Homo-oligomer: A and B are copies of this chain.
Amino acid sequence: MTTPSLPRRATILEVARAAGASKTSVSRYFGGERERLSRELQGRIAEAARRLGYHPNQMARGLKGGRSRLIGMLVADIRNPFSVAVMHGVEQACREQGLSLLVCNTDNDPAQERDHLALLASYRVEGLVVNAAGSPDRELQGLAEQGIPLVLLDRELGEVEAEVVGLDNARAVDLALDHLQGQGYRELLYVSEPPEQASPRQARLSRFRQGIEARDLAGTAHCQPLDDGESLQRTIADFLARPGGAPGALLCANGNATLAATRALQALGARLGETGLLGIDELDWCALVGPGITTLAQPTEAIGRAAVECLMHRREAGDRTTPARRVHFQASLIPRGSTRR
């Protein structure tokens, strides 16, 4: 029996001994200062480390140097494909920088947001990408003051010193309205989840209101939770049965809304195109339903990468000198049958 009962992980000291070197040298070897070591010593250390199966303990590392090599990300809803897509961008950018990503999903629950924020802080993350539903302003404020670089996804936060990365919501809604108008739709129904707080939902909604005004279109907004299709379906039924009969279209504020609206339209037996449908956020299946659903695609990967970029930028550029930046991306329209009459 050669297997020890509990093969503790090798430490830097053991490697040092095995290699006939000092722990300092081993530390240098693994800490990216190899070139300071003689070829020969490098060889001995590599050999010993390999033999002992040594991997540096990040916990200890993080403790001493304050470098956790960790980026935290707060995701409001991990099952939202948009969030995941952005997360994918964040993750890739992190990897390129040699960082790891600690992801916390909050299921849109403010209490969890608070908890997870505290948690991420306790791991001494070197940066934080926040996509929150609620308004953990106080907590974020605190973290920002502790010098943790912060990036807010898609969401401005009055007081907090943080970068903001997201879609240019106003232009996106304009794009949508122009397209719908161009296709001859005259009455619009805007479908959104409740736009509480400073979320992009608010920006989109208010631009919608401005937009129909400016374009001389008719429009109403349905802003209710989408949990049960009930309420939405009723609203849409009313919309379909409205008097006058000018061509009408639905504009959905995000992927969830598009999904719910599509379900409702189908349940009501409406024909896509005849009744227009345009969704913000491109999804796998939009091309497959009926004649295809027209969408406004966000550059999700780019948004994610930009977030990490901001983080790094801020960390290097001496924390608090530069004012917070705002990076806005443009959506692109993917026209399909659902807005062709």
Contacts and interface: CB of A to CB of B under 8 A. Distances in A.
Interface of A: 3, 6-9, 53, 55-60, 62-63, 68, 78-79, 81, 84-85, 87-88, 91, 95, 100-105, 112, 118-119, 121-124, 142, 145-147, 259, 262-263, 266, 283-285, 287-289, 319
A194 B104 CA distance: 32
A266 B288 contact: yes
A91 B107 CA distance: 11
Those 8 A-B pairs whose CB atoms lie nearest each other, nearest first: A285-B285, A59-B62, A58-B122, A59-B63, A103-B103, A55-B122, A58-B123, A288-B289
Contacts of A55: 118, 121-122
A46 to B, nearest CB: 15
Nearest to A145: B7
A88 B3 CA distance: 37
B142 A53 contact: yes
B288 A6 contact: no
B57 A63 contact: yes
A273 to B, nearest CB: 15
A53 B141 CA distance: 12
A287 B87 CA distance: 27
A56 B101 contact: no
Contacts of A104: 100-101
A146 B78 contact: no
B79 A105 contact: no
A300 to B, nearest CB: 10
Contacts of A7: 145-147
A124 B58 contact: yes
Contact of A88 (B63, B79, B112): B79
Contacts of A142: 53
Contacts of A91: 78, 105
Given A7-B147, A58-B122, 16 more contacts: A7-B146, A53-B142, A53-B146, A58-B123, A59-B59, A59-B60, A59-B62, A59-B123, A63-B63, A79-B85, A95-B112, A100-B104, A101-B104, A285-B285, A285-B289, A288-B289
Given A59-B124, A63-B63, A78 B84 contact: yes
A14 to B, nearest CB: 14
A87 B105 CA distance: 10
**Interface hub of A59, A78, A102, A287 (most chain B Cβ within 10 A):** A59
A136 to B, nearest CB: 14
Contacts of A289: 285, 288-289
28 contacts: A9-B146, A56-B122, A57-B122, A58-B122, A58-B124, A59-B60, A59-B68, A59-B124, A60-B63, A78-B88, A79-B81, A79-B84, A81-B81, A88-B105, A91-B105, A95-B112, A100-B102, A100-B119, A101-B102, A101-B104, A103-B103, A259-B285, A262-B288, A263-B287, A283-B285, A285-B285, A285-B289, A289-B289
